[in-house]
Structure 1
Amino acid sequence: MTNFTLKSTVQLRGSGIELPLLGLGVYRNDDCKPACLAALKHGYKHIDSARMYRNEAEVGDALRESGVPREQVFITSKVNNPEHGYQKTKAAIESSLRNFNFEYIDLMLMHSAMSDKERRLESWRALVEAKAAGTVRAIGVSNYGVKHIEEIREAGYEMPDVNQVELHPLCQQKHIVDYCIANGIVVEDYCPLIRAQWNIPALLKVTEKLGKTPAQVLVRWSLQRGFVPLPKSSDPDRVVTNAALYDFEISAEDMKLIDALDRGKDGAISWNPVDVD
């Protein structure tokens, strides 16, 4: 019996809507419909896409085919870096709505800060206006460092609901996480499964003790840390297995073992452009 109670959603402070804590990532999955259908059949209520992934249409088709009502599933997309700027971001949002064939997108993120301050803020203004118009329910950022979010505050705009960053035991982004927590920004983590680089003695010790897969332990670690993990798999069976997280708990002692794996920036295994100018 587990004593650690996990919520299923977190409320986004800026919009008041509920974000499901476990999401399916569909990065680099051109044929993501089978994974999406498996996820929706087995209780996932959150799918994380992006314009750069070029699979928004497949996500929308999967949701309609699943029979799950649109309002019960939280769908995210992201404005691609070359689309920064007010007019380009407005056009990107309209394009995404057409791709999904939705009337609204639950969460729209800036995919990274990889342009310049002026264009980032122009894009943010476009996102704020889209939220006010109801075509986007919540807005946020991805791969943003503290200085990039501070630009938004200093410009007098509403703050992001979410910051999605590479985050896992090897790369815990502590400075960014502390800032986000202090400012009521939900932290979503991509690459929570460390791209299956699991030959880590401390991790394997915990998985053996619990009788769980490394993927399950890594996602459970993220949930117990208060993050929103977005595990990706193109295999429908693994999509289901990765969500079997609620019949066990990682003890405080074992959480410390996993926490101690942090290598800072050296632990990054992906893009992680949080320090760009």
Structure 2
Amino acid sequence: MTFKSETSAVPPIVLNDGNVIPQLGFGVFQVPDEETSAAVTSALAAGYRSIDTAALYGNEEGTGRAIREFGLPREEVFVTTKLWNSEQGYDSTLRAFDESLRKLGLDYLDLYLIHWPVAKADRYIDTFRAFQALKSQGRIKSIGVSNFTVPHLERLIAETGEIPVVNQIELHPRLVQRELREFHAANAIATEAWSPLGQATFLDDATIARVAAEVGRTPAQVVIRWHLQLGNVVIPKSVTPSRIVENFDVFGFELSTEQVDAISGLDAGERTGPDPDTFAGGLE
């Protein structure tokens, strides 16, 4: 198990390769690079030990700067980034990885993800094989995917002989993703939720408000707790220091089975992001 942390109480999730990811992390989607260092520093100060970025976000440099300057031992911070669609393919993946690692200013990655399957380009198998090569060199500890559906995962596993450790997907109370989570569980793939708060579009929902009142917590805390109790890895993001702290303060209470089920019952199949079956951003 490569990752270890002596400075955070976040529960660990053991991945199918034996490495460990903190169940609660910090995402920097849509955070401008010039604001990222401050946000990541606030997150590390609050106790987060997992930071999730991507080449597309344009803030790998700010992310890496904050991690290096905060001064924790490297093995205590779990760092994830993602390969963008336009760089898929074996050789281009190797080049893109070098560039991401250079921007982050790190010697290795804890987790590298294929950002989207982009099935129409038909490059994700070669891309994952490049990931496997990088892992064999010790430059990446764990390899996974993002926004893959069951058919994408089935093909990837069949053709590469390796099960990704993580599938990072849009997941929140309006998009519960039961079928995909069941496939993950059956194949020892960790489910990681992006947009875990649904861009705050449902935080004023009556059911969430009721549960929040019952447990004396904010709607955002209740939804993050719901994710944790479902077993999801969850990566909320904020640039507001007080919200960063609030989103981390979710370990001093539990939801009842009825409360978890009530929140899950809000599922409406509603996405805030693109459809993984058709999205091909970056290839236009």
TM-score normalised by length of structure 2: 0.91
- Residue number in structure 2 paired with 1:233: 238
Cα shift at 1:237: 1.5
Maintained 8 Å contact 2:55/2:81: yes
Distance in 2 (CA, whole Å) between partners of 1:69 and 1:263 is 43
Distance 1:162 1:43, change over 3 A: same
1:153 — aligned with what? 157
In structure 1, distance between residues paired with 2:80 and 2:166: 11
**Superposition pairs of residues 66-105 of structure 1, within 5 angstroms:** 66-105=70-109
Cα deviation for residue 268 of structure 1 reads 1.3
Residue equivalent to 1:207? 212
- Secondary structure in 1 matching 2:128: helix
Which residue of the partner structure matches residue 3 of structure 1? none
Q: What is aligned with 1:41?
A: 45
Contact persistence 1:165–1:272 (CA under 8 A): no
Aligned residues: 269
Q: 1:128-184 CA deviation, whole Å, 9 max, x = no partner?
A: 000000111100000000111111122142110000000011101111111011000
Asked whether 1:128 is paired with 2:138, we answer no
Q: Superposed, which structure 2 residues align to 1:1-277 within 5 Å?
A: 8-14=11-17, 16-30=18-32, 31-116=35-120, 118-197=122-201, 198-264=203-269, 267-274=270-277
* CA distance in 2 between partners of 1:269 and 1:105 (Å): 28
Mapped to 2, the partners of 1:202 and 1:23 lie a distance apart of: 25
Aligned partners of 2:11, 2:74: CA distance in 1, in Å? 18
**For residue 22 of structure 1, what is the amino acid of its counterpart?**
L
TM-score by length of 1: 0.94
One-letter amino acid of the counterpart of residue 95, structure 1? E
Q: C-alpha distance in 2, partners of 1:61/1:272? A: 33
> What is the distance in 2 between the residues matched to 1:22 and 1:120?
27
Shift in Å, 1:199: 2.1
Counterpart of 1:175, as a letter, is E
The answer as to whether partners of 1:34 and 1:236 remain within 8 angstroms in 2 is no
Runs of 4+ with deviation above 3 angstroms: 115-118, 274-277
Q: Distance in 1 between matches of 2:257 and 2:50?
A: 28
Report percent identity of matched pairs: 38
Deviation digits for residues 44-101 of structure 1 (CA, Å, limit 9, x no counterpart): 1100000000111111100112111111000000000111100111111111110111
Of 116-125 and 69-78, deviating more is 116-125
Pick closer, same or farther for the CA change 1:80–1:102 going to 2, 3 Å.
same
Q: Please give the alpha-carbon distance, in whole angstroms, between the structure 2 residues aligned to 1:116 and 1:106.
A: 29
For residues 101 and 79 of structure 1, what CA distance do their matches in structure 2 show?
Answer: 16
Taking only aligned residues, the RMSD between alpha carbons, in angstroms, comes to: 1.5
Runs of 5+ in structure 2 lacking a partner?
1-8
Deviation of 1:117 (Å): 6.4
- How far is 1:43 from its partner? 1.0
- SS for the counterpart of 1:106 is strand
Query: CA separation in 1, counterparts of 2:148 and 2:227?
Result: 19
Runs of 5+ consecutive residues of structure 1 not aligned to the other structure: 1-5
Q: Secondary structure at the match of 2:248?
A: coil
* Contact map agreement 2:125 2:160 (CA 8 A) in 1: no
